Amino acid sequence: AVERTLSIIKPDAVAKNVIGEIQSRFEKAGLQIVAAKMIKLDDEKAGGFYAEHSERGFFKDLVGFMTSGPVVVQVLEGEGAIAKNRDLMGATNPKEAAPGTIRADFAESIDANAAHGSDSAESAAREIAYFFAADEICSR
Ligand code: CMP
């Protein structure tokens, strides 16, 4: 089925100047970028996005990292977009990510792991609505 998923290019990848290289991987895999913006998250916006992790030991570092520089938030659309995006990213921990994946090629650590992608249809719906109004998404 055609799905939408939320993708974030994290501050480490923006700082490395590989926004376009990462977007190109999505496009080459048949996903379309149907919404995109660059923003600097603050503690409230980043903490709210990752609220499900608020009790985890890594939460403070995660929010600190995600507010350390601008991010690109985008909506990817296409056949099986949620799983496709996660396959392209590779494992959360770049040390475990398969060769040729975004995290293997561009990421340094489990926090500075280059990209985020929704993990389910429910997460995708919530995460897309967290960053984008319906009229900011342009299906083609
Ligand atoms: P992301 O897909 O953005 O979702 C939550 C993020 O928390 C994850 O990527 C990692 O960058 C970060 N993180 C840090 N430590 C852990 C951990 N032990 N398990 C899962 N995610 C972690």
Measured CA to CA, the distance from residue 93 to residue 88 in angstroms comes to 14
Least Cα distance to 49 among 70, 31, 24, 66 occurs for: 66
Task: Render pLDDT for 83-93 as a digit per residue (tens, 0 to 9).
Answer: 999 999 999 99
Residue 92, annotated as binding a ligand = yes
Q: Looking at the predicted complex, does its ipTM rise above 0.90?
A: yes
Q: Any idea which residues carry the catalytic annotation?
A: 116
Phi, psi of 33 (to 5 degrees): -85, 110
**pTM (two decimals):** 0.98
Q: How far is the CA of 28 from the centre of ligand 1 (A)?
A: 26
* Nearest Cα residue to atom 20 of ligand 1: 92
